[in-house]
Structure 1
Amino acid sequence: MRAGGVLMLLLTLAVPAGAQKPFYESQHLFPPERWHNHGSCIVELPNGDLLVCWYNGSGERTADDVKVEGMRKRKGTTKWSERFLMADTIGFPDCNPCMFVDPQGRLWLMWVAIIANQWHTALLRYQISDNPRGTGAPRWTHSDILILKPGEEFAEMVAKQCDEDEKRIDQILPPERRQEGLAYLAERRKNAADKYFRRMGWMTRVHPFVLNNKRIIVPLYSDGFDFSIMAISDDGGRTWQASRPLISFGGVQPSLVQKRDGTLVAYMRDNGPPPQRVMRSESRDGGMTWSPVVDDDIPNPGSGLEVIRLQSGRWAMVCNDTEQGRHRLAVLLSDDEGRTWKWKRYLENDPPGAGSYSYPSIIQAKDGTLHVTYSWSQPGKGSCIKYAHFNEQWVLQGD
């Protein structure tokens, strides 16, 4: 490790977070290439290493060569490792990986294998490493599949919401899309009553959430239903139960953050009709039931986002703050638990069509600094995963 890198690390650890000078650094984890690289997730391991995963291949759900790759940055070093294989269901696309470290210090990798080249045929898989230290890929000590069993209550809730949405369809969609909307609701009602359909197709995107150092909540969504649900375990992942669904028109890929009073807030990508806004719901019972999904004020072009609570008490969100296009990627800060977002700084800010920067993953390391990875692509250059490292003061400084 270079002397300058050691000095920067020591200064970061020695100076209180609020007194640190703004800093920002970034790099492509590997050169842009013609292969599709997307859906990254970053974690800090118990020993201080950073680990990143993403999916790579010739496409997404329709490409049977897609696999999950990873890279590691050892604590105290300045360079990332070479790429290595994290997971590969041979002959099937492996997509949307996410990771987290549970209260026992175990690393979990979760992802979906797409069984029939359609998102609604996703099978949720996971691997656990009891000791993820070392070099290269973690040594996996356990693997399994996670299948939720939403029951008849799920079907009843969906049917009831379909009844309400049919009555107000003209308020949701323009007149020329009325019949399309009614057909969509009829299909949703039918699928919710189908026991097999409602158990399959639930997909990961962002970090799972550990509540009160015990309950594991895995935010999930379905492209078959166009809404979200939570997988919940109170026994370290041995058994799982489904939350009540967060029914909406296109509120998917939820990211969770907790208020000081214990309320959980889910922020979601908007795949629904205008206005294109980040969608929001709250839970006051540990993620089992959720308030009606509503639009927030933050623009969203139908792209993934992630939100976390910082050591300072502020919330940080990384998102595409546009109604159309992924050419801007912003870090937002809130000091009032999401009521307003007073600070913004761009990780990427290009004209429309100049590039696509999306699917961010954000963590705050033990030293208080922020780490973000995201999908990076530009016309004629290819795609890769980009990594940014900065502190809260850099965002507060603004552009």
Structure 2
Amino acid sequence: MKQVTLLVSLLLILSMFNTVVADAAAPEGISHARMMPVDNIANHGSTMVELPDGTLFSVWFNGVGERDGNLTKLIGSRSKDGGKTWTEPFVVYDTWDFPDNNPVLFVDSQQRLWLFYGVIYNGQWVSTQTKFMYADMGNYEYAVRNGGNAKWHYPQPLYTNVGEGMFGEGKYSNGQWNYGIKGAEIKFVNPSSVTAATYLDPSQYVSVTTRFGGATRFITDSFVVSMRNKYDQYVAYLKSAKPYDDVYAGRTDEIITMLTTGVSVKEPSIIKNSIERSSGADNDVNTWGPIYRRLGWQTKNKPIEVTLADGVTKRLILPLYSDSLANSVCAYTDDHGITWKFSDPIVGSGTIQGSLIQKKDGTLRGYFRSGKLDGRNGRMAWHTTYSESTDFGVTWSVPKVDPYLKNDGGFELSKLPNGDWLIATNQETSRSVVKKTLDGNRNSFSLLLSTDEGMNWKPIMIKDGMNNGESYEYPSVLVDRAGNALMNYTYKIPSAGATIGFSKIASSEIGTLFNSVITATYGAGSSLNYDNVVMLPTIELNVGQSTQMAYNLTISGQSFDATTDTLTLTSDLPAVATINTSGTVTAIQAGTAMVTAVSNKYGTIYKFIVKVTQ
């Protein structure tokens, strides 16, 4: 009997050992869930936080439209099991008969839960009023609220007074230009008042002519002057660096044209129109009232909280953007939301929907999506731009174009406990050099890791819908206190509708997944040649020829036949070359196609080029 018991014990130990080995060799990978059933109306713009009790809270807007859907409201859901399951959605806030839009959640160091969002007054982005409300500890915990809505303080407008006050016309006296205490117009000087005796430095004003009547003013408001000066520097940078020419030769010059002269009546000069609107010169009245500076500022991504140089004061910095001006500012408060101030403008190739992160030396960096005037966003520049602040968000540098990060929609950054950066984005969807196109898409969703504060990035694919037509829009990423990477996004399913998707990578597996590798051979085991021009492995086929691909996945130091793990295989130009689910590549017509293999479980990405000749 003792021998049998000993044998059973040994078998149990061996079984446990084998389980540990298997688990170590096969990480759990990326897990997925849905926050709500698929719905045939708009569900978009989701945001998510981890509350002090360890539960998750997400909010998004839901309705029949975005800016023009009067029934559009904010709804939310909670999870107390790390995102595996979610409560039935509930109404968070509904401004009666007006659409609520682009919610942003944040928990600050005092454990106050903030909710920022926009109310659209007349169905146009220019009419957006940013508002915020908050709930303190004891008013939002899962148990206290029974898994439902927080008990919020009543919404407050975030009055955006960018630049200086409405001081009107300047008069020269006592050796300087003086302005009134208040007025209906921004600071300006009448050009006829400027003489040799009343000198006005040209770097301190912008000459602006109204669209109606032809009157010209020297605008001396700091916001407008800063816009002009920064745009001058940015265009000079574009001319020198040509940062968009990796898309195709001449693309940078096209961007410069969009900025400086415009391309059509509907798409005029971004710089000229932004300056006119910021000055109030677009009004068909005698009074230059710049409504675009007071309304139209929108939220998209979470604020960041930083400690000021005194080592005590906490500053909350919220990125805001304007589709009407095609640029951004940061709103900041040092007194817990009692008063707010605003940064100088952040200009560039339509710098909108910024996401902020702090470097180890304390510098703030903001990454920005490209957008055109009046909400014609996306597809202008494709690359993101970034700007930095060394004074805790008050002033921002002239942006630079990031050489790697590309997107066709919203994105968000977050920081891991070890200081590494993550960005959730619609990256890895199209070629930049090989395929001369500006067409991005949102049919794939990637998480990128940088271990050197944005100098280099490595991707894994969270979701790939290139074959089934699914899309994953406005992805966001949150790192919880345990170091897990939590992601939420608009999940659109063809012919069904939309839901809010959730994905998770355990903290213990983040490094493992980003270090996983797929390799490939073709035919009888031949290795692919590396093309230094397109910077990808390649194979060459004649029209009508086929070859079989074989994939190998290495993860946690172990190699696996990748066919044992489900792969998504796609060709970006099926008219040139196709690949079927078993990995057979077939050449259709002369040209080049990029084939992508993605591990659905681990997100590992492998790409190669098929060159087809007659």
Determine helix, strand or coil for the equivalent of 1:244: coil
Q: Which moved more, 1:28-37 or 1:169-178?
A: 169-178
Q: Contact (CA 8 Å) 1:331, 1:395: kept in 2 or not?
A: no
Distance 2:363 2:466 in 1: 38
Q: Residue in 1 aligned with 2:355?
A: 255
CA deviation vs aligned residue, 1:9-32 (integer Å, no higher than 9, x gap): xxxxxxxxxxx9553211111121
- The yes-or-no answer on 1:376 pairing with 2:498 is no
| Residues 76/303 of structure 1: CA separation in 2 closer, same or farther (3 Å cut) | closer
- Runs of at least 5 residues in structure 1 that lack an aligned partner in the other structure: 1-19
**How much has 1:383 moved relative to structure 2?**
0.6
Distance 2:85 2:232 in 1: 56
Q: Contact (CA 8 Å) 1:166, 1:185: kept in 2 or not?
A: no
1:319 pairs, out of 398, 411, 425, with: 425
| Residues 386/162 of structure 1: CA separation in 2 closer, same or farther (3 Å cut) | same
- The yes-or-no answer on 1:37 pairing with 2:143 is no
Q: Contact (CA 8 Å) 1:21, 1:393: kept in 2 or not?
A: no
Within 5 Å, which residues of 2 pair with 1:16-27? 21=27, 23-27=29-33
Q: Residue in 2 aligned with 1:242?
A: 342
**How much has 1:275 moved relative to structure 2?**
4.2
Q: Residue in 1 aligned with 2:212?
A: none
| Residues 183/336 of structure 1: CA separation in 2 closer, same or farther (3 Å cut) | closer
Distance 1:210 1:166 in 2: 32
Q: Residue in 2 aligned with 1:329?
A: 445
Q: Contact (CA 8 Å) 1:158, 1:192: kept in 2 or not?
A: no
Q: Residue in 2 aligned with 1:358?
A: 473
Within 5 Å, which residues of 2 pair with 1:197-346? 197-212=292-307, 214-271=314-371, 275-321=381-427, 322=429, 324-341=440-457, 343-346=458-461
Distance 1:374 1:145 in 2: 27
**How much has 1:109 moved relative to structure 2?**
0.7
Determine helix, strand or coil for the equivalent of 2:278: helix
**How much has 1:178 moved relative to structure 2?**
4.5
CA deviation vs aligned residue, 1:175-221 (integer Å, no higher than 9, x gap): 99546565443321111113432121111111111112710000110
> Which amino acid letter does the alignment assign opposite residue 156 of structure 1?
V
Q: Contact (CA 8 Å) 1:357, 1:376: kept in 2 or not?
A: yes
| Residues 276/171 of structure 1: CA separation in 2 closer, same or farther (3 Å cut) | closer
CA deviation vs aligned residue, 1:47-69 (integer Å, no higher than 9, x gap): 11100000000111011110000
**How much has 1:249 moved relative to structure 2?**
2.5
**How much has 1:116 moved relative to structure 2?**
0.9
2:159 pairs, out of 132, 140, 147, with: 147
> Which amino acid letter does the alignment assign opposite residue 490 of structure 2?
S
Distance 2:403 2:293 in 1: 31
> Which amino acid letter does the alignment assign opposite residue 157 of structure 1?
S
**How much has 1:300 moved relative to structure 2?**
2.9
> Which amino acid letter does the alignment assign opposite residue 258 of structure 1?
Q
> Which amino acid letter does the alignment assign opposite residue 108 of structure 1?
W
Taking structure 1 as the reference length, what is the TM-score of the superposition?
0.88
User: Structure 1 vs Structure 2: percent identity of aligned residues?
Assistant: 32
Q: Name the count of aligned residue pairs.
A: 381
| Residues 305/145 of structure 1: CA separation in 2 closer, same or farther (3 Å cut) | same
| Residues 97/171 of structure 1: CA separation in 2 closer, same or farther (3 Å cut) | closer
Determine helix, strand or coil for the equivalent of 1:191: helix
Determine helix, strand or coil for the equivalent of 2:155: strand
Q: Which moved more, 1:77-86 or 1:20-29?
A: 20-29
CA deviation vs aligned residue, 1:221-264 (integer Å, no higher than 9, x gap): 01111111100111111100000110122111000111111111
| Residues 383/80 of structure 1: CA separation in 2 closer, same or farther (3 Å cut) | same
> Which amino acid letter does the alignment assign opposite residue 270 of structure 1?
S
Determine helix, strand or coil for the equivalent of 1:97: strand
Distance 1:207 1:45 in 2: 15
Q: Residue in 1 aligned with 2:272?
A: 186
Q: Residue in 2 aligned with 1:11?
A: none
Q: Contact (CA 8 Å) 1:243, 1:289: kept in 2 or not?
A: yes
| Residues 34/186 of structure 1: CA separation in 2 closer, same or farther (3 Å cut) | same
Distance 2:483 2:41 in 1: 34
Determine helix, strand or coil for the equivalent of 1:86: strand
Q: Contact (CA 8 Å) 1:355, 1:378: kept in 2 or not?
A: yes
Q: Contact (CA 8 Å) 2:231, 2:347: kept in 1 or not?
A: no
Distance 1:226 1:77 in 2: 35
Q: Which moved more, 1:281-290 or 1:267-276?
A: 267-276
Q: Residue in 2 aligned with 1:13?
A: none
Q: Looking at both structures, which has the greater relative contact order when contacts are Cα pairs under 8 Å and sequence separation is at least 6?
A: 1
Q: Which moved more, 1:235-244 or 1:138-147?
A: 138-147
| Residues 275/128 of structure 1: CA separation in 2 closer, same or farther (3 Å cut) | closer
> Which amino acid letter does the alignment assign opposite residue 471 of structure 2?
S
> Which amino acid letter does the alignment assign opposite residue 364 of structure 2?
L
> Which amino acid letter does the alignment assign opposite residue 294 of structure 2?
R
> Which amino acid letter does the alignment assign opposite residue 404 of structure 2?
I
- The yes-or-no answer on 1:94 pairing with 2:212 is no
**How much has 1:379 moved relative to structure 2?**
1.8
> Which amino acid letter does the alignment assign opposite residue 196 of structure 1?
I
Distance 1:379 1:77 in 2: 24
**How much has 1:355 moved relative to structure 2?**
2.1
| Residues 103/197 of structure 1: CA separation in 2 closer, same or farther (3 Å cut) | same
Distance 1:77 1:382 in 2: 21
> Which amino acid letter does the alignment assign opposite residue 108 of structure 2?
D
Q: Residue in 2 aligned with 1:60?
A: 66
- The yes-or-no answer on 1:385 pairing with 2:500 is yes
| Residues 353/204 of structure 1: CA separation in 2 closer, same or farther (3 Å cut) | farther
Determine helix, strand or coil for the equivalent of 2:397: coil
Q: Contact (CA 8 Å) 1:325, 1:352: kept in 2 or not?
A: no
Taking structure 2 as the reference length, what is the TM-score of the superposition?
0.58
Determine helix, strand or coil for the equivalent of 2:76: strand
**How much has 1:87 moved relative to structure 2?**
1.1
**How much has 1:328 moved relative to structure 2?**
1.0
Q: Residue in 2 aligned with 1:3?
A: none
Q: Residue in 1 aligned with 2:16?
A: none
Q: Which moved more, 1:49-58 or 1:141-150?
A: 141-150
| Residues 203/234 of structure 1: CA separation in 2 closer, same or farther (3 Å cut) | same
Q: Contact (CA 8 Å) 2:323, 2:371: kept in 1 or not?
A: no
| Residues 139/164 of structure 1: CA separation in 2 closer, same or farther (3 Å cut) | same
CA deviation vs aligned residue, 1:274-308 (integer Å, no higher than 9, x gap): 54101111111111111111211235343111111
Distance 1:203 1:262 in 2: 26
Distance 1:76 1:313 in 2: 22
